[in-house]
Structure 1
Amino acid sequence: MTEQKKAAILIYPDFSNYEISIVSAIFKIFDKEIVVFSAEKNAVNSEEGFHFIPDKTLTEFDINDYDCLILPGMWCFPDVLCDDRYLNFLKQFKGNKDILIGSISSSPILLAKAGVLEGKRYCAGLYEEDIDTYDFINRDYVVKTPLVTDGNIITAVGKAYREFAIEVGHKLNYDCDDEWFTGIKKPIRAEDYTFFRNEE
């Protein structure tokens, strides 16, 4: 039996944990191992104020062990955009069609600067002024929609974090229900909030 490949999650200062909370839950449901990477092994603060200890540094990444890479958004992307350690790490994925890349909110700007999005349609949670500021962003490929899948690259705006997670699951051939994590249904019915243990 072939060992299942792992999911790599990239974190950086002020990353948005909530934007990857559901995709992480889906990995857990399907027993997919998650390995968290950052530039250093020191604690990394999320934008919500939590402190995360990465499993490995970027230099420890072996692409043969992973079939997907997830990039959360970040509160202040210019700081990360100036850190060559992240950009040099991401450059290895340019033209690589064998690994699924999921990038949400502001994080597609990192992929764009690293050249990974050349010729790819994508969306991003960026202000128009930011798009105009950086010459490596080609407006012809920026789509005004909540989620875009172009080949092996999935991008989404931050508010589409549920749809983003479901799409990542689908691309990994997981049997994800499109209605997972949809929140409260109205009208409120008692039967929708009566739960039984699944013996399986």
Structure 2
Amino acid sequence: MSKLSGKRVAILASNGFEESELLEPLRALRESGAEVDVVSPEKGSIQGMRHFDKGEKVDVDQALADADASDYDALVIPGGLFNPDALRADDNAVRFTRAFFQAGKPVGAICHGPWVLVNADVVGKRELTSVQNIQRDLENAGARWVDREVVVDQGLVTSRTPDDLPAFCSKLVEEIAEGRHKGQERSA
């Protein structure tokens, strides 16, 4: 039996996601037996980026407007500069993200992905990491930012850059296999 058999995971992304930060977790989760949906404010497909160059397009499985966090066991937010910046300004994306924390479900965010967590008001007093240029934003939101390839805090898995993807994907699978995390909830 696969490690994540019976688990359903949402990858929340928009146009401008960093290609490897969506595709590698998607592959790792599926290889571990999870059912994975790309959830997006856009319908059809979304444009990936390889840093500042256009990368692959990825099909959207579920429109964010129709998505319900209670249908999923975990959430992944890939980085890229444009993707998290658009998502953090989207009320539906912020609400969807916050619901995973309120339910104590595992969440993974890499690179600029933790920007969405700031707007969802779920980073306070957590230890996490990200790409260095959003460190101050996370600290201003109350996080304890550290410079490590992967950080796990009560089911929240964060990493810095695509170089950290092997460690990020491994810890993400481990946390999702573990399931619900007591103490992840935080009052807003």
TM-score, normalization: structure 1?
A: 0.73
Match in the other structure for 2:183:
none
Q: Aligned equivalents of 2:108 and 2:137: distance in 1?
A: 24
Q: Shift of the alpha carbon at 1:135?
A: 7.9
Residue 21 of structure 1: which of 23, 35, 42 is its match?
Answer: 23
Structure ID, larger Rg: 1
Contact 2:69–2:99 (Cα < 8 Å) also in 1: no
Larger helix share, 1 or 2: 2
Aligned to 2:154: 151
Q: CA deviation at 1:105?
A: 0.7
1:1-200 maps to which residues of 2 (within 5 A)?
4-48=6-50, 49-76=55-82, 77-97=84-104, 99-127=105-133, 130-132=134-136, 136-138=140-142, 141-158=144-161, 159-173=163-177
1:172, distance to aligned residue in structure 2 (A): 3.0
How many residues are matched?
Answer: 168
Structure 2 counterpart SS, 1:172: helix
> What runs of 5+ residues in structure 2 fail to find an aligned partner?
179-188
Shift of 1:134: 7.4
Q: Which runs of 5+ in 1 are unaligned?
A: 175-200
Higher strand fraction (1 or 2): 2
One-letter amino acid of the counterpart of residue 64, structure 1: S
Residue type of the partner of 1:24? L
Which moves more between the two structures, 75-84 or 46-55? 75-84
Quick check: 1:12–1:38 contact (8 Å CA) kept in 2? yes
SS in structure 1 of the partner of residue 126 of structure 2: coil
Secondary structure at the aligned position of 1:91 is classed as helix
Give the equivalent residue in structure 1 for 2:181: none
- Aligned 8 A contact 1:112 1:136 in 2: no
Partners of 1:47 and 1:75 within 8 A in 2:
no
Taking only aligned residues, the RMSD between alpha carbons, in angstroms, comes to 2.3
Partners in 1 of 2:135 and 2:63 — Cα distance? 30
C-alpha offsets along residues 148-172 of structure 1, whole Å, 9 cap, x if unaligned?
1001110011121110001112223
Aligned to 2:185: none
Q: Per the alignment, do residues 112 and 28 of structure 1 end up closer, same or farther by CA in structure 2, a change over 3 Å counting? A: same
TM superposition shift of 1:6: 0.7
Contact 2:39 2:60 in 1 (8 A): yes
CA distance 1:44–1:21, shift in 2 (3 Å): closer
Tell me which moved more, 163-172 or 73-82: 73-82
Q: CA shift at 1:43, angstroms?
A: 2.5
Distance 1:96 1:136, change over 3 A: farther
Distance 1:50 1:115, change over 3 A: same
Decide whether the 8 Å contact of 1:19 with 1:73 is kept in 2: yes
